[in-house]
Amino acid sequence: MKRNTSHTIKRAQRFPVILIGEGLLVGAVGGLIVLLYRIALTCAGKWLGEALAFIKGNPLRIAGWFAVLMLLAVLVGKLIKWEPMISGSGIPQVEGEILGKLNQNWLKVLPAKFAGGFLCLFGGLSLGREGPSIQLGVMSGQGISRILSRGKTEERYLMTCGASAGLAAAFHAPLAGVMFALEELHKGFSTSLLISVMTASVTADYISSHIMGLDPVFRFQLEQTLPQNYYWMILVLGVILGLMGALYNKVMLKAQELYKRPKFLNETTRLMIAFSAAGVLGLCMPSVLGSGGDLIVALTDKEMVLKVAIITFLVKFLFSAVSFGSGAPGGIFFPLLILGAMVGGIFSMTGTEIFGLDPMYMNNFVLLAMAGFFTAIVRAPITGIILLFEMSGSVSQMLSLALVSVTAYVTATLVRSEPIYESLLANLLRREKEEEQPVYAGGQKVLSEFVIMGGSALENRTVMEIDLPDNCLLVAVDRGGKEFIPKGKTCLMAGDKLTVMADERDAGYVHDKMKNLCYTSF
CATH of the domain at 491: 3.30.70.1450
Does residue 433 belong to any structural domain of this protein? no
Q: Is the pLDDT of residue 442 over 70?
A: no
Q: Is the pLDDT of residue 414 over 60?
A: yes
Does residue 6 belong to any structural domain of this protein? no
Does residue 259 belong to any structural domain of this protein? yes
**Is residue 118 within 8 Å of 78, Cβ to Cβ?**
no
The total number of structural domains that make up the chain: 3
* pLDDT-based confidence at residue 289 (cuts at 50, 70, 90): very high
Task: Specify whether 112 is located in the same domain as 246.
Answer: no
Task: Specify whether 80 is located in the same domain as 148.
Answer: yes
pLDDT average, residue stretch 202-212:
88
Long-range contacts from 62-69, C-beta under 8 angstroms, 24+ separation: 62/283, 65/279, 65/282, 66/276, 66/279, 69/123, 69/275, 69/276, 69/278, 69/279
Length of the chain: 522
Lowest mean pLDDT among 21-35, 398-412, 424-438: 424-438
CATH code, domain carrying 196: 1.10.3080.10
Q: Is the pLDDT of residue 2 over 60?
A: no
pLDDT higher at 293 or 349: 349
Give percent of the chain above pLDDT 90. 41
Does residue 431 belong to any structural domain of this protein? no
Question: What is the distance between the alpha carbons of residues 311 and 211, in angstroms, rounded to a whole number?
Answer: 37
pLDDT higher at 7 or 397: 397
Task: Specify whether 472 is located in the same domain as 509.
Answer: yes
Question: What is the distance between the alpha carbons of residues 200 and 185, in angstroms, rounded to a whole number?
Answer: 15
Task: Specify whether 183 is located in the same domain as 235.
Answer: no
pLDDT higher at 300 or 403: 403
Does residue 432 belong to any structural domain of this protein? no
Does residue 510 belong to any structural domain of this protein? yes
> So what's the pLDDT on residue 15?
61
pLDDT average, residue stretch 229-251:
92
pLDDT higher at 353 or 15: 353
Q: Is the pLDDT of residue 10 over 70?
A: no
H helix count then E strand count, the chain: 19, 4
End-to-end CA distance of the chain, in Å?
34
pLDDT average, residue stretch 394-401:
75
pLDDT for 319-377, tens place per residue?
Answer: 999 999 999 998 888 889 999 999 999 999 998 888 888 888 888 888 899 999 999 99
Give percent of the chain above pLDDT 70. 89
Does residue 437 belong to any structural domain of this protein? no
Task: Specify whether 249 is located in the same domain as 368.
Answer: yes
Mean pLDDT of all residues belonging to the chain:
84
Task: Specify whether 338 is located in the same domain as 405.
Answer: yes
Does residue 435 belong to any structural domain of this protein? no
Task: Specify whether 364 is located in the same domain as 266.
Answer: yes
Residue range(s) defining the domain that contains residue 491:
444-519
pLDDT average, residue stretch 465-482:
78
Task: Specify whether 305 is located in the same domain as 251.
Answer: yes
DSSP secondary structure, 297-345, as one string: HHHHTT---HHHHHHHHHHHHHHHHHHHHTT-S-BSHHHHHHHHHHHHH
pLDDT average, residue stretch 25-33:
94
pLDDT average, residue stretch 53-64:
92
